[in-house]
Amino acid sequence: MDSQEETNSPNVYGDQLILDNELSPTKIAIMYAGKLVEFLSLLPSEIPRIGSVHIARIQQIFKQHKLSNAELEDGTKISLRISNERLLTGSLVPVTITTEPWDNKPARAVLGAELTGRFVILLPWQPDIRRVSKNSAKSKCGTSTLAHIISTALPESCGIIIRRQALNAPASVIKQEIEILLEDWQECSTSHSNIDWHSTPKKIYSGLPLLQASKIIAPSAKSLVLKDDNDWQEIYDQLDYASKPHLITEQKVGIWFQSTKGLTAIDIDSAGSKKSPSQLIPHIAETVSDQIRLRQLSGVLFLDMPRLSKADRIKFYKLCHSFALSDIRHPDIYGFGPAGLLEMTVRRRYMSLENRIKLMFSDV
């Protein structure tokens, strides 16, 4: 990958989807240039699916933290992010699951119905909200993109937020994403947002099926079906390798990953390579970005590179920022801090790859 233009191409999100079933897959490997870059799988039914919409009951409110605890229709506890809403304990509210459980923390949700893609957030019950994200609010390109989409692809009953990655994306890809989100919502949602119509918690929408979710992540990827589990062995090997705390790249660079509940430290050891740190900058930037995505590392991340000149630091930062565009979680890369570490944050979305694999094989 040699240019910014290439990293903005939809192909870099993934060029192949490997499915275990053509119509209703239970697991999907997203590949790019022959490498596994992301892995999706169905979780046990007691874990609420990302994107599912529910009528939930408020149990506790923590105003100082802008959080509340709520309960879903099956008794599952979730954490709900709030702002200045006047909520009462025991009241019913519509919520959308945004984050799978991780460690000992429950799944997280936001108020209202949100259909979230890579490029847009659709708001089925809020047609008055039509704007670009705060990160791109000053962009003339963002304003023109919003106007074009509203006039050609958005129904009057739906609101929309244009996300920052949409500013450089082809209009056809954005429209395709909107069609996927809206079609499944219109076919599968079962109720209305009017709380007066509900007396108990209820699931309104189950969220995108795995296949549609993978097409949101990698919109230009072609599909390959492998029904025999033995044909998945090479992918399982890559998953096993990505679950280990240490890896050696093809250019003999050692990378260590050490995660706690609050942050992940990534240490680069280039001593085994025949190239200097300056020569390895593109290789390390791409490999680390791919591993952050594949391992589903999130929260605060600190990357410790071998000593680089000021110019090389700038080059490394720009490459990391460019490669991170392939991650649907939109990592924020802030640059090198006072301690000489590259600092970044990544939104929590999926549980870590390690925990997903444990759940997937727990009954095997």
Q: Do 28 and 70 have their domain in common?
A: no
pLDDT of residue 6: 42
Report the interhelical angle of 233-242 vs 353-360 (nearest 10°). 130
340 and 250, same structural domain?
Answer: yes
In angstroms, the CA 137 to CA 134 distance is 5
Is 255 found in the same domain as 347?
yes
Q: Number of folded domains in the chain?
A: 3
Q: Is residue 175 part of a domain?
A: no
Residue 8 lies in a domain: yes
pLDDT value at position 2? 43
Among 89, 111, 133, residue at a domain's last position: 111
Q: Is 62 helix (H, G, I), strand (E, B) or coil?
A: strand
Same domain, 25 and 74: no
Please report whether residue 137 resides in a domain: no
Q: Quick check: is 284 in a domain?
A: yes
> Domain ends where: 217, 242, 267?
242
Phi-psi region of 51 (alpha: psi -120 to 50; beta: other; left: phi over 0): left
Task: Report which DSSP code applies to 307.
Answer: P
The pLDDT, as a whole number, for residue 358 is: 87
Are residue 225 and residue 321 in the same domain, yes or no?
no
* CATH code of residue 63: 2.40.50.140
Host domain of residue 341: 245-354
Residue pair 160/177 in contact by the 8 Å Cβ criterion: no
Which residue's structure tokens are 């591993």? Answer: 291
Please check whether residue 193 lies inside any domain of the structure.
no
> Hey, what are 74's tokens?
């099956």
The pLDDT, as a whole number, for residue 138 is 54
Do 261 and 310 lie in a common domain?
A: yes
Tokens of 196: 């007066």
Same domain, 317 and 257: yes
CATH number of the domain bearing residue 264: 3.40.630
Say whether both 283 and 331 belong to one domain.
yes
Q: At which of 111, 131, 159 does a domain end?
A: 111
What is the Cα–Cα distance from 364 to 356, expressed in whole angstroms? 14
266 and 344 within one domain: yes
350 and 274 in one domain?
yes
* Residue ranges, the chain, pLDDT below 50: 1-8
How far is Cα 290 from Cα 169, in angstroms, rounded to an integer? 20
Tell me the C-alpha distance between 213 and 177, whole Å.
10
Q: Based on the domain organization, do 229 and 250 belong to the same domain? A: no
Residue 129 located in a structural domain: no
Task: Give the pTM.
Answer: 0.89
Within a domain: 11: yes
Give pairs for 193-200: CB < 8 Å, separation 24+.
193/94, 193/112, 193/113, 193/124, 193/125, 195/55, 195/91, 195/92, 195/93, 195/94, 198/55, 198/92, 199/92, 200/55, 200/57, 200/73, 200/92
Residues 268 and 349 in one domain: yes
117 found inside a domain? no
Compute the distance between CA of residue 186 and CA of residue 18 in angstroms, rounded to an integer.
27
